[in-house]
């Protein structure tokens, strides 16, 4: 596990879109400063060895080359990342995302392009950033 300063949050973004990775990484740095330690991976296989219980928020694109986002989430959960720390993003409609992921499998499924979905995502980010880090992580 990666040791983090007491209040910092480890945020891992796995998305094959460099623009999305840059957008959210820059946004989190601007919004949360040193509180958000953001790692981005454009290929899921690059991220796999970095996935462990020290992640405070895992943001995963559903459609990635070489690995379905649902399989990636299953792997992350096996590696100790709780469902309440995982967000799935996609360009598919939210209704379709909710059909693919049951309640409790992730904290949220978010459509990348819908404004109301982005507002919900911001509330999730703010909540995660305020949440104290569990002891020993």
In a domain? residue 136:
no
**pLDDT tens string 89-135:** 888 777 777 777 777 788 888 888 777 888 888 888 888 888 776 65
Report the CATH number at residue 44. Answer: 3.40.50.2300
Number of domains in the chain: 1
In a domain? residue 3:
no
In a domain? residue 85:
yes
Helix (H, G, I), strand (E, B) or coil at 38: strand
Cβ partners under 8 Å of residue 99, min gap 6: none
Looking at residue 8, its pLDDT comes to: 87
Rounded CA-CA distance 15/5 in Å is 26
Cβ partners under 8 Å of residue 85, min gap 6: 55, 56, 57, 58, 107, 128
Give the other-Cβ count within 10 Å of 83's Cβ.
14
In a domain? residue 76:
yes
In a domain? residue 105:
yes
In a domain? residue 1:
no
In a domain? residue 53:
yes
In a domain? residue 2:
no
Quick check: 60 pLDDT over 90?
A: yes
**pTM for the full model?**
0.86
39: domain range? 9-130
């Amino acid at each position: 596990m990666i040791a983090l300063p007491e209040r910092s949050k480890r945020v891992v973004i796995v998305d094959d879109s460099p623009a999305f990775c840059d957008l959210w990484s820059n946004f989190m740095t601007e919004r949360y400063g040193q509180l958000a330690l953001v790692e981005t991976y454009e290929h899921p296989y690059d991220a796999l060895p970095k996935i462990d219980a020290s992640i405070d928020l895992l943001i995963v694109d559903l459609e990635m080359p070489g690995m379905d986002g649902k399989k990636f989430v299953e792997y992350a959960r096996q590696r100790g990342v709780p469902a309440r720390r995982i967000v799935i993003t996609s360009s598919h409609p939210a209704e379709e995302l909710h059909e693919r992921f049951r309640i409790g499998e992730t904290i949220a499924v978010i459509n990348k392009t819908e404004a109301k979905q982005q507002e919900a995502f911001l509330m999730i980010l703010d909540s995660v950033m305020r949440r104290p880090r569990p002891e020993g992580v």
